[in-house]
Structure 1
């Protein structure tokens, strides 16, 4: 177990304590925060507050957190849409809703579980027992191409390409609003949000982040974009587009909180991947089609024009 200390900000005044904790403690849900309160794991100025306590402002909170139990990654027979595979790498078109690797709250049903079943023991061990073969990640509610390494040499080579931008990733998305220009670049540092630790944000002192975008089509109130990552920060495209006032359609974290009818997650798809083969050095360029939800949304938008 470990203890963290929190001091509420002025804007937190009046907020229920379980809600405050779920915003300020990374990975803590509101229901989990309520359980901690019920178990006496939270103190307010040294005393245990009631379950309906609201932030008064200026108090010191101590939260004792149990050690998170890391789920074991085990093989599971989950269908994979394999776009490319050889003895060194495998590239998969990940569906919306699939988590990349096991974590508290998502113990199984992940891409790693599926890869362990599909590839057996032939996955790189560099990512550790929980992330075998995983070179990069994409969000749970983002679909598209993701590459995994089948041996350590391939993993090291791909990781180096990721660092020097030789491994290039291209995305398509539907962004809310109308873009005046046909192309542009967002160059803004990204770090953990200071108001909500479960979110990322453009912050001073954050890690450098660069996203290039170009318009593919314009519809009433929505723009179809192609985005190219120069860096690979967590939630980068989602954060950058929200930062310039054009959140991704269906993104309930960085955009409108209400889900969009017909969309399971945000309308963001990793459509292209280019890298140098880690064994032969030959360029490999792969693409995959947009998911059905994305296509249906495009048809709906085209009918409005």
Structure 2
């Protein structure tokens, strides 16, 4: 059992506790959090509360998160947007709002559920809950993701990620007008010492490098392309916040006053890798999703 402690911030006060807790971790659904509250796994200042408790600043929250159950994944038929597939690898364009793999509170409707139904077999290197998953993108990030159909392909693709030879380019809309055309953010990322549900640039974090270039500037926002050299959790979101240009719509790292988009305006547009068996370089590009394109049209119309 994992014990998590957190002190409510001013931004979180006056909100229901079940809503606040479900925002800490994208793998926790609100219904799962409500179940934990009913079971007495959540205390506020040492006392149990109901799910509709309104948080106050400086409330000390303690959650006793149960160990994940050993689960069997249920294959689910989905209309997957498949860009490439053979006996070793599959490349899918994931929509915004879809969780990549099952976790407590998100046992169905994930990309893995759909892949299990479509492929029948995936590599087992990452265990029961993450079969075939070589890398992941966040729930509210859209775009290209590769999965391995067997352990041989999984090891080869993972090695390329470790060697930084996989091409991963993202489009993002960020707050503020970035004055320079290109930049590199080389700053280590680890758990935020003030909030363990967030990542942050920290002195003892893991090496993380993001390259970016400005594609368009608007009155209060910028459209950028980011290329990942490393692949840390929430890397682009954390790095852009670190330099003062958080992603538009980002509920975890961005300001509340933002563009009308569900989740961060971040799209994994380009994915390139060396095929694990043929050793041919393959590269794929997925167009921006409709909501992202609509936001750009709006920003351009503002002049």
Q: Give the TM-score of the pair, scaled to structure 1.
A: 0.85
Q: How many residues align?
A: 299
Q: Is the 8 Å Cα contact of residues 192 and 199 (structure 2) preserved in structure 1?
A: yes
User: 2:22 and 2:194 mapped to 1: Cα distance?
Assistant: 8
1:151-172 deviation digits (Å, cap 9, x = unpaired): 1111000000000011120101
CA RMSD of aligned residues (A): 3.2
Alignment of 1:41-190 (within 5 A): 41=41, 48=47, 64-69=64-69, 71-121=71-121, 123-190=122-189
Alignment partners' CA distance in 1, 2:165 and 2:100: 22
In structure 1, which of residues 283, 286, 289 is the aligned counterpart of residue 287 of structure 2? 289
1:4 to 2:21 alignment: no
SS of corresponding position for 1:112: helix
After superposition, residues 212-223 of structure 1 pair within 5 angstroms as 212-223=211-222
**Structure 1 residues 225-236: aligned runs within 5 Å:** 225-236=224-235
Within the candidate set 263, 277, 298, 1:265 is matched to: 263
CA change 1:129–1:301 in 2 (3 A) is same
Which is further off, 251-260 or 241-250? 251-260
Give the drift of 1:67: 2.7
Cα pair 2:29 2:105 within 8 Å, conserved:
no
Quote the offset at 1:72 in angstroms. 2.8
User: How far did residue 90 of structure 1 move?
Assistant: 0.5
Shift of 1:181: 0.5
Partner secondary structure for residue 140 of structure 2: coil
Q: Give the whole-Å Cα distance in 2 for the aligned partners of 1:86 and 1:7.
A: 46
CA pair 289-10 structure 1, distance change in 2 beyond 3 A: closer
Take 1:71 and 1:181, find their aligned partners in 2: how far apart are those partners?
A: 49
| Residue aligning to 2:251 | 252
* The 10-residue stretch of structure 1 (86-95 or 192-201) with the greater mean CA deviation from structure 2: 192-201
* Mapped partners of 1:62, 1:158: distance in 2: 39
Alpha-carbon contact 2:177-2:217 (below 8 Å) kept: yes
Query: What is the alpha-carbon distance in structure 2 between the residues aligned to residue 92 and residue 249 of structure 1?
Result: 24
Whichever of the two has the greater Rg, that structure is 1
- Whole-angstrom CA distance in 2 between matches of 1:288 and 1:54: 41
Cα-to-partner distance string for 1:273-295 (whole Å, 9 max, x where unaligned): 11111001111111111111111
Contact 2:92 2:146 in 1 (8 A): yes
Distance between the aligned counterparts of 2:238 and 2:206, measured in 1?
13
* Greater mean alpha carbon deviation, residues 192-201 or residues 21-30: 21-30
CA distance in 1, matches of 2:8, 2:263: 31
The verdict on how the C-alpha distance between 1:110 and 1:258 changes in structure 2, with shifts beyond 3 A counting, is farther
Change (3 A) 1:9 1:217: closer
Distance 1:238 1:42, change over 3 A: closer
Assess, with a 3 A threshold, how the Cα gap between structure 1 residues 68 and 185 changes in structure 2: closer, same or farther: same
- Looking at structure 2, the residues matched to 43 and 268 of structure 1 have their Cα atoms a distance apart, in angstroms, of 35
TM-score, normalized by length of structure 2?
A: 0.85
Contiguous gaps of at least 5 residues in structure 2 = none
For residues 224-259 of structure 1, the C-alpha deviation after alignment (integer angstroms, 9 at most, x for no partner) is 100000100000000100111101111121002356
